[in-house]
């Protein structure tokens, strides 16, 4: 399409002996459809590409149900590719500035989960297409009654899939469906989507009225496209003279004779059904309709193309049962010579089958109980066949566009017979439906699909990391990072407004000449100016060795200079336990720590005031760490060497990165109402079990104290309540269930690490994350990805039952405990044992 410079299709790289070798190719360019003359207009890296990202077990194909533990690894690999490509395109067409993706589109649940994390990390719009949905599949499997809910979850990992689809709703700006039925009947099953509420919110947005923090993805129906260039509708009929070749043989396709041998009068109009013998396809009702309607039998033949078979006994029990029922019905109604049911056909025969039906002035029918889309209806219309189709599902949308047939109730046998008879008997109606189909079929072409698709993307508000925009505007190199940092500290000493994270802290020391909004603005500008200066300083300096660490080149952020980054994300039950883990990790790498080759990040549920208290109580220096991920990922701070009074510098760019769909005050009020509803009724006294913790809450983290952790509903319940009300957030139970942190939906400790990679180039493959045996409810995110993980055995072991017992899916579904990137220490490990674990990961070698 004109205006689209490049499209990357990201998927899994598989180098296994049982799949084609092309699946192991890391990059494959897809040649343009009209390559002549177009290649000259294309740029060096433009075009469409399949990019295969290695993740999961090497040299092994695994089913999609077993891929969940490796999704974070795919996200990290995809992120690396996107960043690399943005730089390449920036050099080629962006005047040296990175070229960011316009949108990320996830297909199916696992890719939706990946796209949500990528969208949050890159701060770009996300689109999602579910194709088939987990809740719908779960309902179908339960109705079949063959498997219990637990067996279904064990086989299909269905609850993890459903949560991925819920997250996709949380993160997507647009959800693309093939039909309206998919929206009304399938997506409505999800907590995060309500068709009525969506319409109300859309109306409020149009009227520029507040939605109180609520948001809903826009559902858009865009049917899949088809290629029609090769299709030539048949203009003749069975009465026309049949052409012959020079050798006297008919040029008709072989499949025609294979079908016509079934009919005593092959010139009659053929009613064509093309479907596998599945109960849902409702073919037995079609045969009954045909068999019991004498006028229809006299006027037409019935052609059933039901897949391929060699022996009915070798078919699945379900399919063989349907086929045997059909054969019995043919015998019952004595339909020999009027019904065709060939055993074999090739995919390449399908166009000829449509042509044969059209040549006889026949009709195509899809009598399925529910048809999600109905691609065969479009194919039939393109070959000039009128249609009769079920009124349940996608055919309604197709008929609305094509107006080339009749819709029927698939349960009404008489209705099916009447519709078929009407089209077969009324030649004027048949011709009108054929003409309408051929006239409107272009609306289902790929160019039409792409035009609609691109127009929807154009309607999304452009997003990209804020520092990219600000860096573009900054040309001056006179500002020193340290000067800007001093500006921050001068202002922050007067205004303790967000560096302390305390909304209620005394304002006695605030300079009265500055009003809070001016202070906030000056502080933010100072941070942004400092950040730009730091980045330029780092870009100029490149890598530094030990002797340069006190030079201007080695100024903040130190993250860029480290050979490895150790992230301490141990969710200990007490501060003493956490400090013990910290000291043990420090001791294990004391030599490298002193040299400066290893940096440290503390990732915790603490807010910055709690963090400062912890460091002070445990005699730890803030400068022992390069960065602090606080409030479970709601805030990001860096340590500062320049001030004894304020050792923490907030990253405001991080806030702009995570604020997407943050419900703000509307979310907070809803959470407070929820908290007040959680009570412990004993006699006449009613105790509130969850109360808002205003002192520790910040702009991007609402905190609540939990007085009786064992009585409070599991995390999935509050997440469900918020989603039902169209409030998008990430709810985390932390500190062994005594605290609840609610942060933006795409924020987390693991996402903060990806932000540091984007912002400062922190190589994720050089990161080691230390965790306990369990932890807060965001624990699983810390164990996946391309980074290494060390599980401290015996640490946080009791939190497992407290926080994770009521999960909607077990941790084993999403954590690859056999991954070579994860090691477990001994029960009571010394610093020497810990160093041995790091050696096992290959971290300290070389």
Residue 559 confidence class, pLDDT cut points 50, 70, 90? confident
Which of 56-70, 254-268, 478-492, 508-522 has the weakest average pLDDT? 478-492
Which of 544-548, 627-631, 707-711, 833-837 has the weakest average pLDDT? 544-548
Residue 252 confidence class, pLDDT cut points 50, 70, 90? confident
Report the side by side order of strands in the sheet with 690-692: 690-692, 702-706, 739-743, 730-734
CB 630 within 8 A of CB 604: yes
- Residue 197, token pair as written in the block: 């509420």
SS3 650: strand
Q: Nearest-CA neighbor of 719 among 679, 781, 667?
A: 667
Average pLDDT over residues 719-742: 95
Average pLDDT over residues 543-560: 45
Neighbouring residues of 618: CB distance < 8 A, sequence distance ≥ 6: 575, 576, 578, 579, 582
Residue 496 confidence class, pLDDT cut points 50, 70, 90? very low
Given a cut of 70, whether residue 377 has pLDDT beyond it is yes
- % residues pLDDT > 90 (the chain): 69
Please write the tens of the pLDDT for every residue from 83-97: 999 999 999 999 999
Q: Which helix (DSSP H) or strand (DSSP E) does residue 354 occupy?
A: helix 350-359
CB 130 within 8 A of CB 175: yes
Which of 63-72, 299-308, 361-370, 792-801 has the weakest average pLDDT? 792-801
SS3 683: coil
Q: Which helix (DSSP H) or strand (DSSP E) does residue 686 occupy?
A: strand 685-688
Please write the tens of the pLDDT for every residue from 360-376: 999 999 999 988 889 99
- DSSP readout, 11-65? EE----TTS-GGGG-SEEEEPPTT-TTHHHHS-TT-EEEEEEEP-SSTT----GG
CB 122 within 8 A of CB 758: yes
CA distances from 575 to 288, 436, 499, 578, 706 (A): 75, 74, 22, 5, 18
CA 831 to CA 835: how far, in whole Å?
A: 6
CA 276 to CA 290: how far, in whole Å?
A: 19
CA 478 to CA 846: how far, in whole Å?
A: 39
CA 391 to CA 399: how far, in whole Å?
A: 9
Given a cut of 90, whether residue 119 has pLDDT beyond it is yes
155 compared with 547, residue with greater pLDDT: 155
Given a cut of 90, whether residue 228 has pLDDT beyond it is no
Average pLDDT over residues 190-200: 95
Given a cut of 50, whether residue 503 has pLDDT beyond it is no
CA 272 to CA 366: how far, in whole Å?
A: 9
Given a cut of 90, whether residue 10 has pLDDT beyond it is yes
Task: Quote the pLDDT of residue 475.
Answer: 33
Q: Nearest-CA neighbor of 360 among 386, 399, 336?
A: 386
Please write the tens of the pLDDT for every residue from 160-176: 999 999 999 999 999 99
Please write the tens of the pLDDT for every residue from 625-663: 999 999 999 999 999 876 556 789 999 999 999 999 999
CA distances from 307 to 270, 350, 644, 836 (A): 18, 11, 77, 59
- Residue 668, token pair as written in the block: 């907070």
Task: Quote the pLDDT of residue 838.
Answer: 95
- Residue 708, token pair as written in the block: 């009786």
Average pLDDT over residues 775-789: 93
CA 441 to CA 233: how far, in whole Å?
A: 12
The most confident of the ranges 408-412, 458-462, 492-496 is: 408-412
Residue 190 confidence class, pLDDT cut points 50, 70, 90? very high
Count CB atoms within 10 A of the CB of residue 811.
15
- DSSP readout, 113-156? HHHHHHHHHHT--EEEE-SS-HHHHHHHHHHHTSS-HHHHHHHH
- Residue 248, token pair as written in the block: 């006297």
Q: Which helix (DSSP H) or strand (DSSP E) does residue 687 occupy?
A: strand 685-688
- DSSP readout, 289-304? HHHH-HHHHHH-EEEE
Q: For the chain, how many helices (H) and strands (E)?
A: 30, 27
Residue 513 confidence class, pLDDT cut points 50, 70, 90? very low
CA 372 to CA 401: how far, in whole Å?
A: 16
CA 288 to CA 295: how far, in whole Å?
A: 14
Task: Quote the pLDDT of residue 474.
Answer: 38
CA 189 to CA 139: how far, in whole Å?
A: 10
Given a cut of 80, whether residue 230 has pLDDT beyond it is no
Which of 132-146, 529-543, 754-768, 774-788 has the weakest average pLDDT? 529-543
Residue 118 confidence class, pLDDT cut points 50, 70, 90? very high
Quote the mean pLDDT of the chain.
86
Given a cut of 60, whether residue 476 has pLDDT beyond it is no
Which of 525-539, 569-583, 660-674 has the weakest average pLDDT? 525-539
CA distances from 289 to 130, 299, 358, 361, 424 (A): 35, 14, 21, 20, 14
Q: What predicted TM-score, i.e. pTM, was given to this entire model?
A: 0.84
Please write the tens of the pLDDT for every residue from 335-346: 999 999 999 999
Task: Quote the pLDDT of residue 722.
Answer: 97
Given a cut of 50, whether residue 673 has pLDDT beyond it is yes
CA 213 to CA 662: how far, in whole Å?
A: 7
Average pLDDT over residues 558-576: 91
Task: Quote the pLDDT of residue 2.
Answer: 83
CA 55 to CA 47: how far, in whole Å?
A: 25
Task: Quote the pLDDT of residue 25.
Answer: 95
Residue 295 confidence class, pLDDT cut points 50, 70, 90? very high
- Residue 740, token pair as written in the block: 């609840």
Cα 160-163-166 angle, rounded to 5 deg:
155
- DSSP readout, 598-622? EEEEEE-S--HHHHHHHHHHTT--G
Residue 534 confidence class, pLDDT cut points 50, 70, 90? very low
Given a cut of 50, whether residue 494 has pLDDT beyond it is no
- % residues pLDDT > 70 (the chain): 84
Given a cut of 70, whether residue 800 has pLDDT beyond it is no
Average pLDDT over residues 117-129: 97
Tally of CA atoms within 13 A in the half-sphere of 87 that contains its CB: 7
Given a cut of 60, whether residue 778 has pLDDT beyond it is yes
Q: Nearest-CA neighbor of 338 among 274, 271, 286, 284?
A: 271
Task: Quote the pLDDT of residue 664.
Answer: 95
Task: Quote the pLDDT of residue 58.
Answer: 83
């Amino acid at each position: 399409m004109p205006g689209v410079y490049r499209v990357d299709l990201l998927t899994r790289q598989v180098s296994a002996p049982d799949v084609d070798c092309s699946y192991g190719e890391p990059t494959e360019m897809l040649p343009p459809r009209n390559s002549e003359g177009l290649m000259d207009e294309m740029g060096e890296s433009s075009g469409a590409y399949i990019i295969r990202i290695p993740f999961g077990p090497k040299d092994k194909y695994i089913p999609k149900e077993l891929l969940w533990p490796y999704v974070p690894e795919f996200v990290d690999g995809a992120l690396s590719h996107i960043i690399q490509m943005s730089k390449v395109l920036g050099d080629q067409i962006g005047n040296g500035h990175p070229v960011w993706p316009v949108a990320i589109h996830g297909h199916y649940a696992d890719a939706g989960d990946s796209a949500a994390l990528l969208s949050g990390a890159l701060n770009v719009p996300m689109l999602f297409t579910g194709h088939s949905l987990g809740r719908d599949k779960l309902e179908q499997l339960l109705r079949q009654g063959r498997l219990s809910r637990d067996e279904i979850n064990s086989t299909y990992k269905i609850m993890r899939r459903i949560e991925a689809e819920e997250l996709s709703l949380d993160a997507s700006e647009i959800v693309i469906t093939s039909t309206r039925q998919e929206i009304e009947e399938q997506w409505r099953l999800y907590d995060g989507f309500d068709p009525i509420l969506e319409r109300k919110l859309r109306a409020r947005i149009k009227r520029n009225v507040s939605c109180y923090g609520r948001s809903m993805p826009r559902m858009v129906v865009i049917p899949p496209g088809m290629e029609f260039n090769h299709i030539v509708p048949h203009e003749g009929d069975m009465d026309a003279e049949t052409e012959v070749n020079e050798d006297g043989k008919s040029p008709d396709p072989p499949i025609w004779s294979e079908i016509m041998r079934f009919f005593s009068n092959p010139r009659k109009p053929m009613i064509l059904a093309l479907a596998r013998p599945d109960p849902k396809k409702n073919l037995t009702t079609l045969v009954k309709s045909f068999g019991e309607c004498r006028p229809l039998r006299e006027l037409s033949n019935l052609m059933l193309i039901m897949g391929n078979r060699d022996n009915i006994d070798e078919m699945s029990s379900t399919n063989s049962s349907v086929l045997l029922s059909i054969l019995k019905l043919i015998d019952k109604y004595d339909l020999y010579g009027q019904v065709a049911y060939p055993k074999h056909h090739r995919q390449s025969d399908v166009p000829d089958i449509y042509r044969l039906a059209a040549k006889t002035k026949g009709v195509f029918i899809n009598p399925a109980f529910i048809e999600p889309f109905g691609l065969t209806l479009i194919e039939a219309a393109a070959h000039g066949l009128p249609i009769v189709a079920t009124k349940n599902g996608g055919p309604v949308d197709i008929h609305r566009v094509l107006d080339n047939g009749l819709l029927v109730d698939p349960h009404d046998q008489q209705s099916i017979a009447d519709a078929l008879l009407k089209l077969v008997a009324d030649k004027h109606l048949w011709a009108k439906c054929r003409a309408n189909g051929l006239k409107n079929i272009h609306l289902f072409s790929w160019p039409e699909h792409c035009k609609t698709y691109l127009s929807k993307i154009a309607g999304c508000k452009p997003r990209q990391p804020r520092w990219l925009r600000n860096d573009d505007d900054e040309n001056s190199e006179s500002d020193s990072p340290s000067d800007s940092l001093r500006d921050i500290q001068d202002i922050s000493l007067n205004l303790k407004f967000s560096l302390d994270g305390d909304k209620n802290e005394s304002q006695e020391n605030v300079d009265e000449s500055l009003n809070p909004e001016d202070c906030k603005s000056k502080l933010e500008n100072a941070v942004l100016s400092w950040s730009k200066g730091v980045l330029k300083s780092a870009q100029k300096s490149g890598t530094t060795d030990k002797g340069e660490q006190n030079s201007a080149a080695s100024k903040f952020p130190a993250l860029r200079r480290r050979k490895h980054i150790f992230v301490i994300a141990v969710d200990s039950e007490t501060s003493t336990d956490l400090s013990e883990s910290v000291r043990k990790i420090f001791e294990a790498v004391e030599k490298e720590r002193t040299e400066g080759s290893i940096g440290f990040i503390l990732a915790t549920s603490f807010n910055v005031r709690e963090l400062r208290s912890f460091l002070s109580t445990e005699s730890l220096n803030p400068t022992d760490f390069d960065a602090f991920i606080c409030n479970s990922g709601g805030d990001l701070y860096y340590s500062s060497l320049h001030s004894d009074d304020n050792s923490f510098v907030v990253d405001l760019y991080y806030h702009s990165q995570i604020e997407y769909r943050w419900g703000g005050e509307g979310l907070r009020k809803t959470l407070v109402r929820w908290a007040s509803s959680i009570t412990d009724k004993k006699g006449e006294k009613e105790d509130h079990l969850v109360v808002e913790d205003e002192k520790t809450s910040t702009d991007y983290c609402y905190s609540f104290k939990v007085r009786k952790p064992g009585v409070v509903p599991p995390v999935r319940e509050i997440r469900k309540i918020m989603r039902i009300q169209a409030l998008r957030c990430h709810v985390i139970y932390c500190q062994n269930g005594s605290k609840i942190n609610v942060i933006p939906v795409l924020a987390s400790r693991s996402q903060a690490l990806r932000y540091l990679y984007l912002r400062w180039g922190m190589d994720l493959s050089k990161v080691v994350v230390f965790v306990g045996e369990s932890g807060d409810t965001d624990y699983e995110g810390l164990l996946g990805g391309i980074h290494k993980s060390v599980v401290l055995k015996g640490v946080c072991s009791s939190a497992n039952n407290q926080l994770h017992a009521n999960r909607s899916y077990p941790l084993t579904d999403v954590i690859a405990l056999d991954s070579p990137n994860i090691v477990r220490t001994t029960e009571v490990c010394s610093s020497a044992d810990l160093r041995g674990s790091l050696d096992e990961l290959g971290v300290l070698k070389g």
